[in-house]
Structure 1
Amino acid sequence: MSARLRLVLLATLACAFPAAAGDPADDGYDALLGYLASTDIADNALAGASGAIAVNQAAGDLNMQANVRALASGEHADAAATARQLRSNDRFDTPLQASVGIRGQALSGASGLVSINQASGSGNAEVNLVTAVLASKGIRETGDEGLSFVSASAGEQTSMDPGASANASRSVAVEATALQGFNGVLQLNQVAGSGNATSNQLALDFRGR
């Protein structure tokens, strides 16, 4: 564990036009610049940070996000994590414009375990899961049975009427200036749209003889 970690990037990017639109909500969204939704990590946010970092950002309605970690250390250590998200019969507005991004010098020079969920839109589900085991005894390799300890499922939203606007736009971005010099494990889900389900799953097993 004292060895310097190399960058591991697990990214799920979704940029989709509205999957559906329900009855207009009575919350005044239509009057707010056509319901513009955006989430950003920008400027020098988290630059130089280290350790275990979890970020959830959502702009819109009925979004679900989770960052789950299970860490274990010991002579006979083991770890498991499970996350399930389920929602049904939702009706919501979909934004005409949706964007997410990591910009500027964000996370430059950062290190450690970073899990990020960014969503702009409605009815999205995002999950990051990590299990890590440091054991002095046990098998040296993790097979399929070990990876199965990490599982995730996200239920799709239902009872939604299809609809999309020709003026709608969706964008996701990680700018070239961001994440420079990052060292460690980075999990990233970015969603611009509605009705999407994304997940990142990672299992690490360090065992001695």
Structure 2
Amino acid sequence: MRRTATLPLMLAALAALSPGASAGDDYATMLGYLTSSHLDGHALQNAQGSVALNLAAGDLNTQANLRAFASGPGAQAQIAAHQRLRDNQANAPFDAQASIGGQALAGAHGLISINQASGSMNAQLNAVTATLANQGIREATDDSLSAVVSASAEVQSRAQPRIPGEGTRSVSVAAGAMQGLRGVLQLNQTAGSGNATGNILSLSVSELPR
């Protein structure tokens, strides 16, 4: 069985590696559970502004791209996220691949948040808060950042095991992808099972002069 998520037109990366299958196991692998997630071609080339993309292949993956913006004399922007998986059953795939290739996102500029997963029971989060306030630029302490963006993930600790010695886990970004990208890029890219990744950005700036 093959589960595939593909967007043919068009930072955090995590891959759990395992030994490759031998030539004699090719047929058995073809009949196994495979997941493949690809973003390639000219997808989102020269995109401008705000881009939020969730792309997953597999079972029980949770993904979120969250943004909060505020302006004013006492402006505050906050995000709270809780991702949770409990008492579910899922097979870990024999092979899991997540890749960004071609000229995907080349020349793009703006706020770009991407979650890409291949596998099972993975949690991914991108969060951005931005405040335009009259009180000027303020130093952000660890305590204040934790109050602005609150995030947690409860991922199941175990999936049904795959056959030992078979399969691969791989994530990749091709050299031509994202060339010339300007702005803010958040990328969670995961291949495997039971992983949790996140990117959090908090900005506070003064009101523009008149």
Q: TM-score range with shorter-chain normalisation?
A: 0.7 to 0.9
1:140 is paired with a residue whose SS is: coil
Overall identity of the aligned pairs, in %: 51
TM-score normalised by length of structure 1: 0.83
Distance of 1:172 and 1:103 partners within structure 2: 11
Gaps of 5+ in 2: 1-10, 19-27
Give yes or no for the alignment of 1:176 onto 2:181: no
Structure 1 runs (4+) deviating above 6 angstroms are none
Match of 1:14 in 2: 14
Which amino acid in 2 is paired with 1:80? Q
Q: Which residue of 1 aligns with 2:74?
A: 76
Deviation at 1:138, TM superposition (A): 4.7
Quickly say closer, same or farther: Cα 1:119–1:159, change in 2 above 3 A: closer
Q: Note if contact 1:89-1:159 (Cα within 8 Å) is conserved in structure 2.
A: no
Q: Structure 1 CA distance, aligned partners of 2:87 and 2:104?
A: 37
Cα RMSD after superposing both structures: 2.1
Are 1:196 and 2:167 counterparts?
no
Contact 2:17 2:170 in 1 (8 A): no
Q: Which has the higher contact order (CA 8 A, sep 6+)?
A: 1
CA contact (8 A) 2:92 2:162 kept: no
Alignment-derived partner of residue 113 in structure 2: 115
Deviations 1:79-134 (A, max 9, x none): 11111101112211111111111101000010111110000000111111110111
The answer to whether the Cα contact below 8 Å between 2:54 and 2:114 also exists between their aligned partners in 1 is yes
**What's the CA shift for 1:140?**
2.5
- The offset of 1:143, in angstroms, is 1.9
CA contact (8 A) 2:91 2:162 kept: no
- Say if 1:13 and 1:191, in contact at 8 Å, map to a contact too: yes
Describe the SS at the equivalent of 1:137: coil
Alignment of 1:1-209 (within 5 A): 11-17=11-17, 33-138=31-136, 140-148=138-146, 149-158=148-157, 160-207=159-206
Count of aligned residue pairs for this structure pair: 188
Q: Write the distance in 2 (CA, Å) between the matches of 1:121 and 1:66.
A: 17
